Amino acid sequence: MADKKKSPRATSSNASSQAVKAAIESPRGVKSWAEAAAWLRARGIEDVECITPDLAGVPRGKMMPSSKFTSNTSLALPSALYRHTISGEYPDETENFRYDSRDSDIKLVPDLSTLTVVPWETDPTAQVICDIAGSSGDKVTYTPRNLLKHIVELYAAQGWRPVVAPEIEFYLVAKNADPDYPLHPPSGRSGRSIVGGQAYSIAGVNEFDELVDDIYHYSEKQGLEIDTLIHEEGPAQLEINLRHGDPVELADQVFLFKRTIREAALNHGIYATFMAKPMQGQAGSAMHIHQSVVDLKTGKNIFSKPDGEASEAFFHFIGGMQRYIPRAMVMMAPYVNSYRRLTPDMAAPLNTAWGYDNRTTAFRVPVSEPAARRVENRLPGSDANPYLALAASLACGYLGMMQKLSPTEPTAETANEGAIELPRGLLEAVSLLESEPSLHDVFTSEFIHIFAGVKRGEFETFMQVISPWEREFLLLNV
């Protein structure tokens, strides 16, 4: 007897079942609400955290039962959430910095491709990163994830796709209940506090073996891929390198990694901090960003010509970074503390120079094959919001390519011995951002006015604090 021919309906049903099965098995992301419901049921998820980054990169949002999450519930936050400082205060209005007179709602719109478990929770819990839309579904231009998406869209309009790979440095520190006391390194498995000078030391990493194992375990559960993990120069300073990919996806990963690393550290009775300069006299923590651009049609790196030589686009990208990054620096160094990292005689660059395999330059071109030609931006601190730091870095390169800006000659010598070419403090950096018309064009004036207002508010809060330096040198001498 001949085999019966399968009906189109049966074939379609089978394909649908396979898609749901694949979604259920995936540690990260689904394509539809039906797949989301199946994914949550398969894991016995009780609660879902709907989170989104605020201007500082802090997760904000709402938690709800999983049954409510899949029932088309409308999620809203007040728009003022994007106008408050890192200390939770609301700056006074100015000519350009204004609040919504109604403090109207903005919507949380879950991006189901980011759905994953929260592995450190005792009850089965999931998390999903949300975009922000207006109450009527309109775009909200000033939120970090939307801003980065906008920059990626500018590239797409030219037939390009940016590719990035962030490197995130952070410190492990002993718990510090009183902020008046300086931070110090925690004890490792040897029972002693780790000292500096441990760059690339395997023994340095092994001091925190159980914590590192938890970081790997939590990351695997969330579908986050770590490329490498090393010990950096500072005492108990580590660095995680991520695989290259789409800017929004990588910003999402940094956003989740920061949360993951903090939670893993707390489980071991210590803190993980992404402050740019947490300890006096020690190296700061950076978030270096490797960047390249590929052609959307061919998938080839536009920084290289067919013969393997560097292209005009490559040089224009560097020219744009040299010109505009000092003006966008506040998006990569967003706090008063950020500029303590950017000081002479430390590892961080203070220039706008570029060079081949030269770590003293702001913009380093690593040794690579032509297909992997890229530019490393070494200026951002690990305290930066990853969405804003990536948006700023890519926007500056984009402007260079669009305006065909030429870079300086590459620097072959030490670049950190000349004049400082970057803003020296938060207020100067804010003013530079506000005064550059090209950055208003790519970021929108709405975002710049809100961001600048918040940064000025944070500076005024900082100025209310009297530091130990002032008590030591001014108390009895002036």
Q: Tell me what pLDDT residue 220 has.
A: 95
Q: Tell me what pLDDT residue 188 has.
A: 84
Region of poorest pLDDT, from 267-281, 341-355, 374-388, 463-477: 341-355
Q: Residue 14 — very low, low, confident or very high, per pLDDT cuts 50/70/90?
A: low
Distances (CA, A) of 299 to 156, 198, 224, 246: 13, 40, 24, 13
Across the range 382-387, mean pLDDT stands at: 98
CA 316 to chain centre: 24
SS3 291: strand
- pLDDT, averaged across the chain: 92
Across the range 376-381, mean pLDDT stands at: 98
Q: What is the pLDDT of residues 240-265, one digit of tens each?
A: 999 999 999 999 999 999 999 999 99
Please state whether the predicted TM-score (pTM) of the whole model is above 0.85: yes
Burial class of residue 349, CB neighbours in 10 A (0-12, 13-18, 19+)? buried
Helix 312-324 crosses helix 386-403 at what angle (to 10 degrees)?
120
Helix 247-267 crosses helix 386-403 at what angle (to 10 degrees)?
150
Q: What is the pLDDT of residues 109-144, one digit of tens each?
A: 999 999 999 999 999 999 999 999 998 888 899 999
Given a cut of 70, whether residue 413 has pLDDT beyond it is: yes
Given a cut of 70, whether residue 3 has pLDDT beyond it is: no
| Cβ–Cβ < 8 Å for 190, 208 | no
Given a cut of 60, whether residue 7 has pLDDT beyond it is: no
Q: Tell me what pLDDT residue 1 has.
A: 45
Distances (CA, A) of 437 to 262, 330, 432, 441: 38, 16, 10, 6
Q: Are strands 59-65 and 270-273 parallel, antiparallel or unpaired?
A: unpaired
Ramachandran sector of residue 446 (left: φ over 0; alpha: ψ -120 to 50; beta: rest): alpha
Given a cut of 50, whether residue 217 has pLDDT beyond it is: yes
